[in-house]
Amino acid sequence: MYCRACGVKIGCRAERCPLCKGELSYTPVPTDRYIPPAHLTEEVAFKKGTIKKRRTDVIAQAYFVFFVVTTCMLILINIYTNPKQLWSMIYMVVAGYIYYCIRYTVIAQSNFHARIFGQAIVNTVVILLLWRLYSGPGQNNWILITWLPITYFLSELLIGIYALLNFKEARKKMISLLILCIFGVIPVVTAYVADVSVKWPAIAASAFSGVVIVVTLIVGRNHLVDELKRFFHV
């Protein structure tokens, strides 16, 4: 039989449970239909989550070691063979971005909003770094013309679709969408500062950010106010 309080299996007749000391009832409980107490179910789920997190942390740590070792090797080779052209920086940026994706997106425990927001910010840093390394003022700057506007357009679109499909949960995190849309001015500002040859993608992406801001303020203004109050403990 099983103790109904703690779920321990008891193989002999006793008046009290040897584990929790609670009184025992000898009403037969089918073993195939036994449902453990809620606290035991939560404990098992917590242990499984801890084991899974340890495994994913090992993967991330192993990749980080690989990233550091290979980056150092390629930088030394680059300096020794062709110091004027830092091609090793491309590998460092791409491999670092892959590590970020593995550690903070693929195996992260954070919510969907935080993952997309983090991706947008990291993508911005990567794009601007590549632009500074391999482009410059007066050039075509295709990476600023295409990838930077696409990054913000897709990020805001994904969070917007998620908010529509999961409104009850997403309405508690609308401030992250609002902040991302405020950062949406980066493409158009960068386009004019860098004086890119084609500015309409950046203008379109920033305009889309403005539209999303207006819609968010109209639809979720009450939730935004509540979230700001909780954040500032008002």
pLDDT, residue 200, reads 92
Q: Quick: pLDDT tens for 81-105.
A: 888 777 787 788 778 877 777 776 6
pLDDT, residue 161, reads 80
Q: Is the pLDDT of residue 145 over 80?
A: yes
Q: Quick: pLDDT tens for 160-197.
A: 787 777 766 666 667 777 888 889 999 999 988 888 88
Q: Quick: pLDDT tens for 10-50.
A: 767 677 777 777 777 655 545 445 555 555 555 554 445 55
- Alpha-carbon distance of 98 to 143, in angstroms, equals 19
Q: Quick: pLDDT tens for 102-118.
A: 776 665 555 677 778 88
pLDDT, residue 189, reads 92
Q: Which long-range contacts (CB under 8 A, 24 or more apart) does 46-53 make?
A: 53/109
- Alpha-carbon distance of 152 to 181, in angstroms, equals 8
pLDDT, residue 205, reads 92
Identify the DSSP state of 103.
I
pLDDT, residue 73, reads 92
Average pLDDT over residues 198-222: 86
Strand stretches in 20-166, DSSP E = none
Task: Give the pLDDT band (50/70/90) at residue 149.
Answer: very high
Mean pLDDT score of the chain: 75
Model pTM above 0.75: no
Closest CA to 170 of 160, 185, 180: 160
Q: What are the tokens at 176?
A: 């992250």
